[in-house]
Structure 1
Amino acid sequence: MSAVESGGAPARRPDLAVPRLVGRDRDLALLDQVLDERPGLVVVAGEAGIGKTRLLHELLGRRRETALIAVCPPFREPYTLGPVVDAVRRLADRVAGLPLTGLAGALRPVFPEWADQLPPAPGPLPDAASARHRLLRALVELIDALGVGLLVVEDAHWADETTLELLLFLRARRERGPRLVLTHRPEDVRPESLLRRLVAQTGVTRVEPRPLDTAGTADLVSSMLGGEPVSVEFAEFLHGHTDGLPLAIEESVRLLYDRADLVCENGAWLRRDVEELDVPPSIRDAVLERTSRLGPTAGAVLAALAVLEGERAPALVAEIAGIPVQEAENGLVEALAGGLLYEERDARVGFRHVLAARSVYHALGAIQRSRLHRRAGEALEREPVRGVAELARHFREAGDPRRWAAYAEQAADHAISSGDPRTAFGLLLDLLTGGAVRGAAVPRLVRRMPLYAAPGDGPLRELVAVLRETAAGELTPEERTETTWQLARLMFHVGDVEAASVEMEQAVPGLLQHRPAAAVHAMMMLARPVGTARPAAHHRAWLEHAARLIETRPGPSPEERLAFLMDRAATLLVLGDPAGWAAAHDLLVEGETPGEVLQRARGFANLGEAAMLWGRYDDARRRLEAAAALAEEHRHLRLRDLVGATLAHLDWLTGDWAAPTQWGPLALDADEPVLRADALLLAGLFDAARGDHRRAQERVRAAIEVGRPRGPADGSRDPSAVLARLAIAAGRPGEALAATDAAWRLVEAKGLWLWASEIAPLRVRALLEDGCVGEAVHAAEDFAAGTRDLDAPVATAARRLTAALLARAGGDLTGAAGLFEEAGAAWAALPRPYDALLAREAAAGCHLAVGERDRAVGLLREVFGDLTALGATEDADRVRRTLADEGVRAGARSGRPGYGDQLSPRELDVVRLLVEGRTSAQIARVLGLSPRTVEKHVHSAMRKRQAPSRTALAVAAVESGDVLLPGSVPHPPTSTGWPPVTVREFPG
């Protein structure tokens, strides 16, 4: 029934227009102000349909600078830098004549159509991170040369990681280059996305458009109706059904228009029977009802556009729709008039909103979708510049595995060469799990995959399943060997080392025949003494097999030989064999080819970690810093970050707690699982030292879930040791035993007692507190016998600590006090000041118990001050309470009281070494303190002696008799021991 006006005349049909921007004046003013006044990043965030894109286009229409507008499509696998590359193509049709350097040659693979206008391509780089960094620098140079003043990225939640890295790179330039504006939907940002880090930086301006109120709803509808008024009743009804979402309001009005439900009465537009108005509950339903009212030609072009995505030329739309161009243009005109599409200046058309495009796409039947994707793929194959990622998507959806695989592999190659291994991994994973490749092609693809880019173990386990299925099929002997080898590699990666070793041993004979280099690799993996209960001799045998093979097989490259020698030295050390030190010392590491540099950096990193296992922290730091320097210089960014995580843990151990706290929070959301796990573990250690044991346990358990499995071979980074410490601190020895059971059994089975250095004191203490004295003695004896002949400082300190624990449990408190002080001195010599301080606290407890109050109080005062300076607030509080029980006021946490204007014993120790000409770093090593703690003592002494400088302090100390000059009669020692302990433990 048609509507009529109250006087009986036919109702007037409105001429619908695109709505004007409503209710965004303040947002626009803020955006203009921020972009005019300061560099930085502007983020427009909000749900789908809130009007982010419309706000952005209104902003761009008001500004005069050159804008580069990149729109991120909602592909399942984003293509590397695709949004920015497409935006550059739209902005410029050529680059000849631009002020570009030779660096721009790196852009040739990205812009093949400009190959003759760009400088020659530079040489290859050794790793993906270096290639990515060079490509980003080249792209930034091009953006600068084009005079871009504003870089806009729409729908950044769909951006690939390399595009987000580009934004981070531009953001770091601050005053140089374009200002940045991006839109995104917070709820659609992946947890591991770099976008989270980008928008969380300081100096980011965040604009969040809000839903419209009833008045705003009326204004928006009025703007669609030529500015004529809208009844309050109608506005309230629409607002109630759309929650003020601009896109939902617009689509509802257009649907009412299509139904002829809008009428004009007494000069106001309304729906006569508002209570009967039927508005679909979602934008999708509204869009689909509207498209159903269009003619078949308009429906065909909309379907073609939905499959293509983005803005497209009418001729291409016609080809995909399978209709003549003129007919397609008529359908596009109808869809444009209905407000579903918009038209670019170059006559390309696209959906006004991605929600409309996705609504149309998902409404297509499977057969129709497949047919349209095939047409799209075949049409785009003829384009002069092929978008291989897009072609892979179309042929995947078309059910054409051959062409899907071909283009996906090309897209993966492009992603790797662009330094985007995560996208490459995803593309190849999709091929393998989607069944596009079978048989021998499966291990070939797995071999090419950048496994380190996997987002966790889940995808790797999917690959294991694919390889198992492949291995069960028909393969030649050589193909079966390769499949088994790749399967074993993947199983090692996911931590299924026991089963992986079985598979790998089966692959070795075949690899020896066909791929001797891979055979060496397999043997070295079998030589790693982790993850299995096999004795050390088993792994040593594989190491010797690999050594014979590397010497006898013809033609190992210098890179392969260097990798083997580095790995051999590190493996010997992890096996607890001192020969590893000689092997490391004899290494010739002068190779300068990209591959040799990578092996040097990797080798130094592994040797540094092995040195940490032994407790040789100076050696560990020297090698790790060498690895970090090489990785930074040659842009091995992933290796640099992994080494940084190890150095951060070394900082924790050696008492420089400021460095790890600066590093840790940044990596808690790292993309690399190992980095994130190490950050969580380190954060858990800090939480425990500060007394937040619940949070510490949560973080340590999260580290176990996130990262590769760690165990006793990882030394102080074994999460089970940290959990045991927390359990002992909470008075739950049974829990501590449960936490260390698996690690202890592994050490016993392998006979690698060096690995027990972290857990032996914990286990002995837990056994004693659980009443298992005989078992505690047996565990201590086994550990002592297994490590006594090793020059491993960490094992020496742990042996002394276990002896102290046994003595204390046996009632020999005087002997226990001396042993705790010896343990403290051993820990301090590494240095591990936190562990040293806790051992000294335990010694003081024994002194108190035998009536040596003055000695205990002096020791506790020192321990209190050093724990406070270190940042171990909970432990300092415990010591303060012990002193208070003895009637001694330790003072607030801010310092060490009790000496007035006199130098404390520890301050005298520091000043004495200062007079000898030692630096703060050297004093820290001698006293087992952190450099930060040394500086605290120096400044305190300067204040007490009213010395304006360190030199003046040294002079004042000598003149006052506090310190004798070197060569004079020695001053009697003022401190009773060195700082000490491996655990947050052992209070008296």
Structure 2
Amino acid sequence: MADGCADPLSGRFRSPPMIGRDAELAALLDAVRHPPSAVFVAGQAGVGKSRLVTEFAAAAARDGFPRVITGSCQPLPEPFPYGVLLDCLSQCGDLLREPGPATGALRDHLPELADRLPPAPRPLGDPHAERHRVFRAVRDLLRALGPAVLVLEDLQWADEKTRRVLRFVLANPPPDLSIVATYRREDLPSVAPLGHAFHVPHGVTGVDLVLRPFGVADVRAMIDALVGAAVTSRRFAEAVLRETAGIPFVVEETVRALRDPMRDVRAEGDSARRVLAGVDVPASVADTIEERLATLPDAARILTEAASVLGVPETPEVLNTVAGEAEVAHLIASVESGVLVEETVNRYGFRHNIARRAVYASLPGPRRRELHERAFAALSALDHTPVASLCAHAKAAGMKAEWLRYSELAAKVAEDANDVSTAVDLLVEVLSDAETSPEVANRLATKLCDHALTGLPGGVMTARVENLLSDPRLAPDVRAQVHLWFGLLLQRETGSLDRGAEEITLALGLLGDQPERTVRGMAAMAGPYLGSASIAEHQRSLDRVEGIVDHLPTRELRTALLATTLGGRLIVGDPSTWERIARLPSPSDVRDPEELHHLARAHCNLADACSWIGHYAKAWEFLRDGIVLAKRVGSSYVVGTAEATAARLDWLSGRWSDLGQRLDNLIETYADLLLTTDLHLTRGWLAAARGEWGRAEEAFQATTGPYPAAQVFPVGISAAGGMAGMLLSRGKVAEAEEHVRRGVTMVRSKGAWVWSGDLLPQAVDYHLAVGDVDAARLLVSETASGLRGVDAPLARAGLAACRARLAAATNDRVEADRLYREAIDLHWDLGLSYRATQLAEQAEGETLADAEVLEALTRSYDALGATVDAARCRHRSRSTGAATPSPRGRRGYGSELSPREQDVARLLAGGHTNQEIAQALFLSRRTVEEYVVKVRRKLNVSSRHDVRL
């Protein structure tokens, strides 16, 4: 097993390779190549200074550099005079060449070298003269070593005599000597590593390096190295970064403490936070924190204890109030020691949460409770009300009434901020308390059920709601609601369709005297994009549900029901939906916030349905109204679904500028909701068009979620088409077969020909690529039959394109030309510029050699940002012998990246190899290598791994 791997059987780790310090290592090696030199490496504890110099020593040995001699200063109350220097020099007997007479002054200090040094001189009797004699002896002995590198670690703990002799040596250093010193700035006894401001003299190569904590990319790389596989989710890496502040030592120890590393590091969204919250503070980190606390005065330590209880950075006033006896001087001592840091202006907390947890865990129970009581009192007195903090402090202090009050308030704040996971956790926590009254339990259980279908992934909500089934405090009507939502969750989250149906049937029986809840449950069941029931069955269910709309007692209930059923009808292409939409009230007629919420949901659901079947202009109209309504009532989940739909519409219509960053932000914002499957689909489409194969595959795979049986069918079908199309474009026909089969099976089993527009063209391409024309014909015929009487503009446009492909494959050129023109016009009419351009290229045939046509296609692809397609057309144009001008005209770009260099840089940032970049951009590997050199030079990075965009 390679270093840096976790044994999957034992869960044990080995040391990972050095991560993220290529530039610093290169600077070190370069300095040593130009002696005399002095390199000072600064960085906080655990940031990787020792690892850097260890890698440096290994690299120096491999490259035939001078001998590296290493010594470490020790944190002693009274350091030994010249201790680290004498430790280093004692190792150098084999290097000595004719040590001069002055070196005899070190004979008594270096018994290991006594037989190689001149006799010790007579004492001078003057301490200053003796010190000067020792300084000269050290310099002359270093000169006698010849080419050498002296590595002195932890210089903050060196004695003053060592600092002085180093200043003396570096003022006139031996010509072949290099000194590398590491230190912690916060622990220096003065402002500089050598005791006072020291300037490297002319003729000496001087380098100052500062090692910063890792960012998310390096944290992710380090975790992958530790577990031995590139499996860490970005969200987990981000959670680790927040927990550890990116300090490599803390990152490593935290990962080593995981219970199931290979599973845990894959955690997404809120699950990542939960995993880390369940990890005990590593003993090595706790010991380090305790050692640092031991150096503080008692009052300063009490201040850090208060900070650990508060949990978040606070003002000095709040810290002092909670600590009870602290003063500004004590805060200054805590900051100077590095225990606390100023997180933002005038707010102080721990450098990383692991340190805070270590201090918190060290507090005795009574002391912890006392500090929580003080924290509650201090925060209650603030002008603003930090309800989440007050909730946590009230619970920890045993203040039940206050805890209950602030739990509900904090849940509402979390819900308004779209943090459904936190809202659910707060409600569940109160419900889990045996002392919570039946009245409160019933109220909160109802609230929890209201969150049931907001889409928390991985069975999170299912487990929460299931726990309520056995709660004896629930009234019959509330218990019936729990059965209803539990059944729906079983089907949607886990794919347990039969068991879910049983729970829903039971609930509908219990809800006999609550027609509004019965109807909403039935409407949710009738949603056509989930479950194994065919679209025809869903339509029959929708008919039954809508049959009682007019019998509901209030317009608000009718609007709530229509919000679900209208979108459900339209997304399956029911043409009668357009008349039924008129049953929705006008936004100007609605005042009730709850009805406004349902009206917003109705408009956003209709926008989503339009976006799937191909009514894109209508989708934007519904979307604009839906977002306005949702923002009026603060419905963050509805806004989230609207943003996902808008992103997909922007992709389809060719508005790709900044779309990638927007998708990343949305995926992060809504990581705990199932609507991210839609966002991952759009991310996969965009990445595939840009040649980011790995990212595209990861995104397409993420669309299925943890329970493939419960996936959203339109998303799953389109993701299968996206994967198949990407593989076919790369010539990986055999690998595309699995995805084509899966997507077509989904369409056939569901009868979902209305959603075939993102799959059918790729499926037909696959069958034609393997020479199975009959299978392609059958699929086209099935689609045509399935679309009869269905409102499906996108699927019909895709069907036209497939007929053109079939005609071309059977050499019916005249018919193929006619059908391609029809298909291209249909796609342009829908506003699908990218797909229309691809069809225009395909219509020209495989033998296209017209340079003007290829140049026009290239410009169209470049305008969209379709990197792979543009590169393919350039490649074909080059093969004709025609020059392909830059879209901006021929000019120099100076220090800016050219368009092609931007493409290479983006693929480098995505971790692609030169061979993969060459394939994506249709370039030779040699050309890519030249581009990589230019990109690194213009971005001023020493390694391809440091390229960031």
State TM-score, norm by structure 1: 0.52
Alpha-carbon distance change, 300 to 214 in structure 1, aligned in 2, over 3 angstroms:
closer
Deviations 1:883-937 (A, max 9, x none): 555x46363352899xxxxxxxxxxxxxxxxxxxxxxxxxxxxxxxxxxxxxxxx
1:340-351 equivalent positions in 2, closer than 5 A:
none
2:586 counterpart of 1:589 = yes
Q: How many residues align?
A: 619
- Is 1:837 matched with 2:837? yes
Give the corresponding residue for 2:556: 559
Cα distance per residue 1:441-499 (max 9 Å; x no partner): 667535425987999845x7344224324325656643431221232354466364736
Residues 1:742 and 1:495: Cα distance change in structure 2 (over 3 Å): farther
- The answer to whether structure 1 residue 722 and structure 2 residue 727 are counterparts is no
Aligned to 2:749: 749
Q: Which residue pairs with 1:867 in the alignment?
A: 861
Q: Indicate if the aligned counterparts of 2:491 and 2:710 stay in contact, CA closer than 8 A.
A: no
Report the CA distance between 1:764 and its aligned residue: 2.3
Please state how far the C-alpha of 1:733 moved relative to its aligned partner: 3.3
Matches within 5 A, 1:733-882: 733-845=733-845, 862-882=856-876
Structure 1 segments unaligned to the other structure (5+ residues): 1-44, 51-211, 219-228, 251-278, 319-327, 343-349, 898-988
Distance in structure 1 (CA, Å) of the matches to 2:797 and 2:411: 51
- Structure 1 residue 811, shift from structure 2 partner: 4.2
Match of 1:533 in 2: 532
| CA distance in structure 1 between the aligned counterparts of 2:453 and 2:549, rounded to whole angstroms | 31
| Structure 1 residue 582 displacement after superposition | 1.9
Inter-partner Cα distance in structure 2 for 1:621 and 1:338: 56
Is 2:291 aligned against 1:286?
yes
Matches within 5 A, 1:158-169: none
Contact between 2:767 and 2:776, CA under 8 Å: does it hold in 1?
yes
1:320-378, CA deviations, whole angstroms, 9 ceiling, x for partnerless residues? xxxxxxxx97xx89x97996799xxxxxxx9997589865542234x546764797699
Aligned equivalent of 1:468, options 462, 466, 469: 466
Checking the alignment, whether the CA contact within 8 Å between 2:372 and 2:397 is kept in structure 1 is yes
1:894 counterpart (872, 887, 890): 887
| Paired AA for residue 544 in structure 2 | H
Shift of 1:528: 0.5
Alignment partner of 1:892: what SS?
Answer: coil
Stretch moving more, 669-678 or 462-471: 669-678
Contact 1:287-1:359 at 8 Å conserved across structures: no
Measure how far apart 1:735 and its partner are.
3.0
Is residue 715–residue 755 contact of structure 1 (8 Å, CA) maintained in 2? no
- Corresponding position: 1:246 with 2:186: yes
Residue deviations 1:832-880 (CA, integer Å, cap 9, x gap): 222222222222217x5xxxx89x7776565444334433343234334
SS in 1 for 2:184: coil
Between 681-690 and 399-408, the greater mean CA deviation after superposition: 399-408
- Between the aligned partners of 2:165 and 2:564, the Cα distance in structure 1 is 73
Q: Secondary structure at the match of 1:494?
A: helix
Q: CA deviation at 1:827?
A: 1.8
Are residues 466 and 603 of structure 1, via their aligned partners in 2, closer, same or farther at CA, if it must alter by over 3 Å?
closer
3-state SS, counterpart of residue 513 of structure 1: coil
Let me know the Cα RMSD of the aligned residues: 5.3
**1:484 match:** 483
Contact 1:645 1:678 in 2 (8 A): yes
Q: Secondary structure at the match of 1:718?
A: helix
Equivalences for residues 681-696 of structure 1 within 5 A = 681-696=681-696
Q: Among residues 556, 559, 573, which one is paired with 1:576 in the alignment?
A: 573
List per-residue Cα deviations over 1:213-259 (Å, max 9, x = no partner). Answer: 988779xxxxxxxxxx96657999xxx99952536989xxxxxxxxx
Partner residue, 1:321: none
How many Å separate the matches in 2 of 1:547 and 1:659? 42
Q: What is the letter of the counterpart of residue 701 of structure 1? A: Q
**Which amino acid counterpart does residue 714 of structure 2 have in structure 1?**
D
Q: CA deviation at 1:517?
A: 2.3
Is the 8 Å Cα contact of residues 862 and 870 (structure 2) preserved in structure 1? yes
| 1:547 paired residue number | 546
| Structure 1 residues 607 and 891: CA distance shift in structure 2, 3 A | same
Mark the CA change 1:622 to 1:482 in structure 2 (over 3 Å): closer, same or farther. closer
Q: Report if aligned partners of 1:443, 1:483 keep a CA contact under 8 Å in 2.
A: no
2:488 and 2:500 in contact (8 A); partners too: no
User: Any idea what SS the aligned residue of 2:731 has?
Assistant: coil
CA offsets 1:586-618 (integer angstroms, 9 cap, x no match): 544242314444333332222122222222222
Task: Pick closer, same or farther for the CA change 1:844–1:49 going to 2, 3 Å.
Answer: closer
> SS of the residue aligned with 2:669?
coil
TM-score, normalised with respect to structure 2: 0.54
**Per-residue deviation, residues 698-730 of structure 1 (Å, max 9, x unmatched):** 343345559999967536993222112112212
Distance 1:406 1:487, change over 3 A: farther
Asked whether the equivalents of residues 566 and 606 of structure 2 are also in contact (C-alpha less than 8 Å), the reply is yes
Identity, % of aligned positions = 25
Go from structure 1 to structure 2 and tell me whether the alpha carbon gap of 1:247 and 1:446 turns closer, same or farther (over 3 Å shift). farther
Match of 1:362 in 2: 361
**Which amino acid in structure 2 is aligned with residue 836 of structure 1?**
A
Q: Distance in 2 between matches of 1:454 and 1:670?
A: 18
CA distance in 1, matches of 2:584, 2:332: 74
Distance 1:892 1:561 in 2: 61
> Residue 775 and residue 393 in structure 1: after superposition, are their counterparts in 2 closer, same or farther (change >3 A)?
same
The match for 1:625 is 624
Q: Which moved more, 1:466-475 or 1:517-526?
A: 466-475
Contact 2:156–2:185 (Cα < 8 Å) also in 1: no
Distance 1:549 1:778, change over 3 A: same
**2:762 counterpart letter in structure 1:** L
Unmatched segments (≥5 aa) in structure 2: 1-41, 48-151, 167-179, 191-283, 337-345, 891-949
Post-superposition offset of 1:502? 1.6
Work out whether residues 710 and 717 of structure 1, in 8 Å CA contact, stay in contact via their aligned partners in 2: no
Give the C-alpha shift of residue 525 in structure 1: 0.9
Which amino acid letter does the alignment assign opposite residue 798 of structure 1? G
For residues 662 and 387 of structure 1, the distance between their equivalents in structure 2, rounded to whole angstroms, comes to 31
Q: How does 1:348-747 map to 2 (within 5 A)?
A: 361-365=360-364, 368=366, 372=370, 389-390=388-389, 392-394=391-393, 396-397=395-396, 404-413=403-412, 423-431=422-430, 444-449=443-448, 457=456, 461-472=459-470, 474=472, 477-491=476-490, 494=493, 496=495, 498=497, 501-502=500-501, 505-510=504-509, 512-553=511-552, 555-556=553-554, 558-585=555-582, 587-590=584-587, 591-593=589-591, 594-631=593-630, 639-640=638-639, 642-658=641-657, 660=659, 663-664=662-663, 666-667=665-666, 669-672=668-671, 673=673, 678-702=678-702, 704-705=704-705, 713-714=713-714, 718-747=718-747
Alpha carbons of structure 1 residues 461 and 446: separation in structure 2 relative to 1, 3 Å: farther
